[in-house]
Amino acid sequence: MTALALNDVCVSLGGARVVDRLSFDVEPGEWVALIGPNGAGKTTALRALAGLVHYDGRIRVLQDDARTVARKELARRVALVPQVPLVPGDMTVRGYVLLGRTPHLSYFGTERRTDQHAVDMALEQLDLVPFADRRLDTLSGGERQRATLARALAQDAPVLLLDEPTAALDMGRQQQVLEIVDRLRANRGLTVLSTMHDLTLAGQYADRLLLLDGGRLVAAGTADEVLTRALITEHYGAEVEIVDAPGSGFVVVPVRRTE
Amino acid sequence: MIRSAGARLWLPAALVFLAAALLAGVLVGPVNLGALDVVRATFAHVFGLHSPLSGADDSILWELRLPRVILAAIVGGTLAAAGASYQGVFRNPLADPYLLGAAAGAGLGATLVVAYAPASAVTKDLLPLAAFVGAGIAVIAAYVLGRSAGAAAGSAALVLAGVTITSFFTALQTFVQQQNVDTVQEIYSWLLGRLATAGWRDVGIVLPYAAVSWAVLIAHRRLLDVLAVGDDEAAALGVNVARVRLLVVVAATIATAAAVAVSGLIGFVGIIVPHTIRLLAGGSYRLLLPLSVIVGAGFLVFADVIARTVMAPAELPIGVVTMFFGAPFFAVVLRTSRRTG
């Protein structure tokens, strides 16, 4: 049983091939991070999994071919947290998290007690109870990110797709959000597939890293297999040192060469 | 602000506002009818009982004031709900019910009838029909044009298509009007909106469309909240965005076309009413749509009272009233309640 399985997935946008014959599996309960330079196709791969872009090849979600799964059923299996969510400022946090229940409701249906309960749980797990009646445009960036996560959590999908969950957060908030995701993964048995820019954090939190470049998968494995100086120099064009920090995994340090 | 408490507070307040407007609408006029008698006579008519008013007074109430007030309420509620819905599906605060060309199309249809059809009783019946058909053709043209730009272009393409169609139909309408200068007065008074000739027939024309439209729009209130997070995220939540947008636009447009057909072009209601409610009661469509119907109805009835009293016995065009009094009122609401939450 695999949670996600991609088989020769290709996506073209505006004539350019952005994702190129991408194949990988994600096991249930696993946290896999997609890493790679800008334009590597990480976000597009997530969007294909969420059914938002046309793709060739095959995607399986909880064993079923994603093409044969209805849009609503797909949303019950896969929750997507976009990198820059469109935040309706005049909505309350509770109203926003309630939107996560959408795939569980009929077209003209309204939320029942079970839906309200799921929202209560999500608010609680992300420490948002005191914010429940606040408008979204009064929240800080970190609080907003938690609200978006809560919405995805209320969706009650076993697979969580996170697009740069820590972008625009300070160091402390980054750790906080990633710890929350890890805790939820443990508590709820979620499968997490996230794109990540910060390689050190990716190595610390994900079970496996998949390195993409030019839409292709160029390396896969644990942090010590993928976070190598050679691979990063080749695919990011960056000068780095990899420092083994015992107990904290590998730290990727940018290096400035001065003549 | 707590959502459910908001509903408990604002829904009754809106209903009181509407009731006050309706009462003012039937009471204000050259002949004094008396509040109690008016209410009793109205019930008498509805349930087939004997009216307490004298014959002449009863006719004034039943043939003149009541149909006009009811028509104003239906048109106001429709324009406000349609405006709120358009703002939701296009995520554009400036969207109004005329965004996709309904006003320009209706204007052209009405102008053609006034200019070219021989003046007769038949022409009078033809005018609402021509306005309705004109509005329908304009919006369908805008929709087809917008879709031809590709589904990927989304709502922006649709809005631009609406602007294009509006310009084109307005150009045609202006041309026809210039060719028939003798009818300018009549066309102009239609373009500025009129409820003066309202009768039960007009109510009968617009009510079925309005009722169906209100039901469809209010039924979509939860999905309109989902669309607020954008097409992509709504789709990732399992919503068929294109279908929701089409259904809402069709429902809002048909009712707008029917309202325009019987009352001409009444501007600003579709913008001012939903935004005032947003500023006071919050942005969720669950509350916004029902409130828009109720408050929009009351707003237009009050506007009509002003239209027929400030320069009595002459009447102001109601479109002038909604803008002249609506704009300063909206400015006050905007200044006092922004960002208090």
Residue B268 has what DSSP assignment? S
Give the separation between CA B16 and CA B10, rounded to whole angstroms: 10
Which among B192, B248, B240, B241 is positioned nearest to B219, based on CA atoms?
B248
User: ipTM value of the model?
Assistant: 0.89
Residues of chain A with Cβ-Cβ distance to B282 below 8 Å are 90, 92
Question: For position B334, what pLDDT does the model report?
Answer: 74
Q: What is the pLDDT of residues B109-125, one digit of tens each?
A: 988 888 887 766 666 67
- CB-CB under 8 Å, A88 with B3: no
Give residue-wise pLDDT tens across range A78-95.
Answer: 999 998 888 888 888 999
For residue A218, the model assigns a pLDDT of 93
For residue B222, give how far its alpha carbon lies from the nearest alpha carbon of chain A (Å).
7
Chain A contact for B106 (CB, 8 A cutoff): no
**A87 to chain B: closest CA residue:** B229
Report the DSSP pairing between strands A31-35 and A208-213.
parallel
The yes-or-no verdict on residue B151 having pLDDT over 60 is no
Q: How far is A217 from chain B (nearest CA, A)?
A: 25
* Any A CB within 8 A of B3 CB: yes
Beta bridge mates, A208: A32
List of residues 6+ apart from A27 with CB closer than 8 A: A2, A3, A191
Contacts of A80 in chain B (CB under 8 A): 233, 236
Chain A residues lying within 8 Å of B222, measured CB to CB:
105, 109-110
Shortest CA distance from A160: residue in chain B: B236
Contact B284 A73 (CB under 8 A): no
Phi, psi of B110 (to 5 degrees): -65, -40
d(CA A16, CA A108): 40
pLDDT, one tens digit per residue, over A22-76 is: 999 999 999 999 999 998 999 999 999 999 999 999 999 998 999 999 999 999 9
Start-to-end CA distance of chain B, whole Å, equals 7
Question: In this complex, do B233 and A92 lie within 8 Å of one another by their Cβ atoms?
Answer: no
A161-185 residues labelled b (16+ CB within 10 A) or e (exposed) = bbbbbbeebeeebbebbbebbbebb
Judged by CB atoms within 8 Å, which residues 305-324 of B form the interface with A? none
Of A160-164, B88-92, B175-179, B188-192, where does mean pLDDT reach its minimum?
B188-192
Query: What band does B150 get if pLDDT is binned at 50, 70 and 90?
Result: low
Query: What is the SS3 assignment for A237?
Result: coil
Higher-confidence residue: A29 or B31?
A29
Q: What is the pLDDT of residue A250?
A: 83
CB contact under 8 A, B233 and A75: no
With an 8 Å Cβ cutoff, are B237 and A133 in contact?
Answer: no
Return d(Cα B104, Cα B187) in angstroms, integer: 13
- Cα distance between residue B317 and residue B327, in whole Å: 16
What is d(CA B272, CA B254) in angstroms, rounded to the nearest whole number?
21
Q: What is the pTM for the complete model shown?
A: 0.87
Q: What is the pLDDT of residue B152?
A: 56
Mean pLDDT of B301-305: 93
Q: List the domains of chain A with CATH numbers.
A: 4-83+158-254 (3.40.50.300)
CB contact under 8 A, B222 and A74: no
Whether B3 has a pLDDT exceeding 50, the answer reads no
With an 8 Å Cβ cutoff, are A75 and B232 in contact?
Answer: no
> Is residue B255 a contact partner of residue B78, using CB atoms and an 8 Å limit?
yes
Instruction: Check if the beta carbon of residue B269 is closer than 8 Å to that of residue B329.
Output: no
Q: Quick one: tokens of B205? A: 């024309």
CA distance B166 to B172: 10
| Residues forming beta bridges with residue A5, ordered by sequence position | A25, A60
Comparing CB atoms, the residue among A75, A102, A138 nearest residue B341 is A138
Mutation target to probe the B interface, by most B beta carbons within 10 A, among A52, A73, A77, A86 is: A86
Residue B2: pLDDT above 50?
Answer: no
B231/A contact by beta carbon, under 8 A: no
The SS3 assignment for B51 reads: coil
User: What's the gap between Cα B274 and its chain centre?
Assistant: 12
**How many Cβ pairs within 8 Å bridge chains A and B?**
78
**To the nearest whole angstrom, how far is the Cα of B33 from the nearest Cα of chain A?**
45
> What average pLDDT does the segment B258-273 reach?
87
Asked if the C-beta of B341 comes within 8 angstroms of chain A's C-beta atoms, the answer is yes
What pLDDT shows up at residue A110?
84
Which pLDDT does position B341 carry in this prediction?
38
How close does chain A come to B225, measured CA to CA in Å?
8
DSSP state of B118: P
B-chain residues near A75 (CB < 8 A): 236-238
HSE-CB of A117 using CA atoms within 13 angstroms: 3
Rounded Cα distance between A167 and B315, Å, is 60
CA–CA separation, B98 and B167 (whole Å): 12
CATH topology for the B3-337 domain: ABC transporter involved in vitamin B12 uptake, BtuC (1.10.3470)
Residue A51 DSSP code: T
Give the distance from residue B132's alpha carbon to the nearest chain A alpha carbon, in angstroms: 29
Q: What is the pLDDT along chain A (259 residues), one digit of tens a residue?
A: 889 999 999 999 988 999 999 999 999 999 999 999 998 999 999 999 999 999 999 999 998 999 999 999 999 999 999 988 888 888 889 999 999 999 999 888 888 899 999 999 999 988 899 999 998 989 988 888 889 999 999 999 999 999 998 887 888 888 988 998 999 899 889 999 999 989 999 999 999 999 999 999 999 999 889 998 899 999 998 888 888 888 778 888 888 877 6
- Strand, coil or helix: what is A3? coil
Question: Is the pLDDT assigned to residue B5 strictly greater than 70?
Answer: no
Which B residues, 243 through 302, put their C-beta within 8 Å of a C-beta on chain A?
278, 282-284
**Which of B228, B237, B341 lies nearest to residue A135, judging by beta carbons?**
B341
**Tokens describing residue A186:** 């443990």
Whether residue B113 contacts residue B123, with contact meaning beta carbons closer than 8 Å, is answered with yes
Chain B residues near residue A72 by CB distance under 8 angstroms: 238
Amino acid type, A57: G
